[in-house]
Structure 1
Amino acid sequence: MMKSPTILAVGGAYIERRGQVSGAFVPAASNPGTMREEVGGAVFNALRCAVRRGVSGSLLSVRGGDVLADTLSRAIAAAGIADLSVVFLDRTTPSNTVLIDGDGALIAGLADMALYDLALAKQIRRAKVREAISTADAVLCDANLPSAALERLVALAADKPVFALAVSPSKAARLTLVLEFLAMAFMNRHEAGALTGADVDADERGIIDGLRRAGLKSGVVTAGDGPVLGFDAAGAFSILPPKKVTVGAADALAGATMAALLRGLTLGAALREGVAAAMLAVESAAFTSAIFAEALAFVPEARDLA
């Protein structure tokens, strides 16, 4: 039996809280609504999907010594991911809390991510991490890592493909110094704009050309319910997703695309699998091979941008 590809993921795995107001939002007042809490983070979401698509995964992150850390630990184990994370007993587990209105528009957000800036760079220096990189087939990281940590990580993984997730427009700039060393980066149009300075409403070819000029050899750019763009040395193309690619779904898209690339598929074929995973992520975090095949049948073939 062929050995499963292995990915070492380094970056964010944290608690996501999403509060939605019932009715019109009233500032400076108590608003009725609902609150949902789950484990998320770009790297965790992407790796979990890659594992579902046949990859063996391990995760290096950091968390605090509070009850939320136990929630994270259980979720990582339930996803079938080997946990290399470090616990800081005197710190708070990172979290991201957003408040949205009845239509889903963002009212406010609060990201408690200080532990990543404080501790992740130091963890990459551990011998255990260097060993994990040496035995992995690929490395996945996100821009929750400080720039210095990203530079060290790509240096340690010099002979391995490194995939990166841009996370947000403000954090995407951290990838600037390592773009040329990445096998691929996943981002949305706003994050692509942050990397290139280009207008997010630029034409598809212009977005790809800007990323290439910035040093990126291969990339994927999502746009909500707009076309998903992909490019590599062989060319550039777009795929119109049957369903809107939300933030969490974009992470699943990245995970499934990576898993397919590590199985030897072309980027066009791999990205179709990524779009199928994104469709399913909107409905459920879990899916069977049969359900995945059904979703893939709805994904159109890539359209060449040449």
Structure 2
Amino acid sequence: MMSKPDILCIGSVLWDVIGRSASAMRQGSDVPGRITRLPGGVAMNIAMTLARFGLTPAILTTVGQDSAGDELLSACAARGIVTDLVYRSADLPTDQYMAIEGANGLIAAIADAHSLEAAGAKILAPLSDGRVACENAPFQGRVALDGNLTLTLLSEIAQSPLFSCADLRVAPASPGKAERLFPFVKQSRGTLYVNLEEAGLLCNQTFKTSRAAAENLLALGAARVLVTDGGADASEGRPDGLLTQTPPQVLVARVTGAGDTFMAAHIASEAQGLDPAAALDRALKAAATYVSGETPS
């Protein structure tokens, strides 16, 4: 029998292949380091952090009927993530992500989420077929949604009655996919979690501070936003005001997954009753701990 989830995490669940070096790198660098293969993807990273904070997340995604997919779902279950709702395709392989990180941050990354994009709305079936909810009784819980879905599907979700009663939290998969979130700005739906670059892409301008970015996103129509800027200030913007805080300063050991950790920690903090200032503070501390390498992947 499926455990009742506290939140649905919709989007990419794949294998992360990450090469990390303690050296600063540039294009063409060839340096020693470590290569790891870990469960990843925006939805997966969020789900893993939610589980560490005591919540029970369920993932809505696609995973291939291949050995990589079998291993991935086993890894999810071992981390306390409900996998009963996953769409498994016989024709699509399990997705993967590859990144190179140096002492100076992320050098390059390639996200192969073609199977997720090809599966499309099939991953959302549990929201309408009665397994989680149905058209006459929409899901009323928390939903974490990532921007690895196609723009067409994200646009449909932004307007769909299936999500009309949900506490919807949305994040881009990367700056290159930030503009896929614009339907949620236009429809004033959900809470958006973006970094400073992503906020600039959504607003078609450059910002110097997270506070300015949050103000502009609200002016465009966003219902609520949280804007981060690495080790600089982060801001929450909502119709009743703005909140800005500074994260702890730490030595950076990794960057991939930091934004997902921040988002998940913030969602968990609010689910556990923390007020806005305390929730933002806890999320910033969780992200700082993660990038310092102290939190397990």
TM-score grouping bracket, smaller chain normalisation: 0.7 to 0.9
Residue number in structure 1 paired with 2:178: 172
Alignment check: 8 A CA contact 2:96 2:113 kept: yes
Residue number in structure 2 paired with 1:225: 231
Change (3 A) 1:153 1:131: farther
Alignment check: 8 A CA contact 1:15 1:95 kept: yes
Distance in 2 separating the partners of 1:22 and 1:279: 18
Distance in 1 separating the partners of 2:270 and 2:101: 36
1:187 maps onto 2:188 in alignment: no
Distance in 2 separating the partners of 1:85 and 1:128: 14
Q: Structure 1 length as normaliser, TM-score?
A: 0.81
Distance in 1 separating the partners of 2:172 and 2:26: 33
Distance in 1 separating the partners of 2:105 and 2:210: 26
Equivalent in 215, 235, 256 of residue 265 of structure 2: 256
Residue number in structure 2 paired with 1:152: 156
What amino acid is aligned across from residue 274 of structure 1 in structure 2? Answer: A
Give a deviation string over 1:194-222, Cα, whole Å, max 9, x none.
11112043x44421221112221211111
Distance in 1 separating the partners of 2:5 and 2:189: 18
TM alignment of 1:191-210, pairs within 5 A: 191-201=198-208, 203-210=209-216
Change (3 A) 1:136 1:221: same
Distance in 2 separating the partners of 1:20 and 1:139: 32
Change (3 A) 1:182 1:85: same
Alignment check: 8 A CA contact 2:46 2:263 kept: yes
Change (3 A) 1:30 1:223: closer
Residue number in structure 2 paired with 1:276: 285
SS of equivalent to 2:132: helix
Distance in 1 separating the partners of 2:220 and 2:264: 24
Identity %: 26
Stretch deviating more after TM superposition (166-175 or 239-248): 239-248
Change (3 A) 1:40 1:29: closer
CA-atom RMSD, angstroms? Answer: 2.8
Alignment check: 8 A CA contact 1:218 1:233 kept: yes
Residue number in structure 2 paired with 1:291: none
Give a deviation string over 1:145-198, Cα, whole Å, max 9, x none.
112322333421101210011221121111111223433111111111111112
Q: Structure 2 length as normaliser, TM-score?
A: 0.83
Alignment check: 8 A CA contact 1:198 1:207 kept: no
Alignment check: 8 A CA contact 1:220 1:229 kept: yes
Residue number in structure 1 paired with 2:94: 93
Alignment check: 8 A CA contact 1:195 1:214 kept: no
SS of equivalent to 2:214: helix
Alignment check: 8 A CA contact 1:162 1:183 kept: yes
Residue number in structure 1 paired with 2:112: 112
Query: Where in structure 2 are there 5+ consecutive unaligned residues?
Result: none
What amino acid is aligned across from residue 89 of structure 1 in structure 2? Answer: A
What amino acid is aligned across from residue 54 of structure 2 in structure 1? Answer: G
Change (3 A) 1:52 1:171: same
Stretch deviating more after TM superposition (44-53 or 119-128): 119-128
Question: Aligned-pair distance for 1:223?
Answer: 0.9
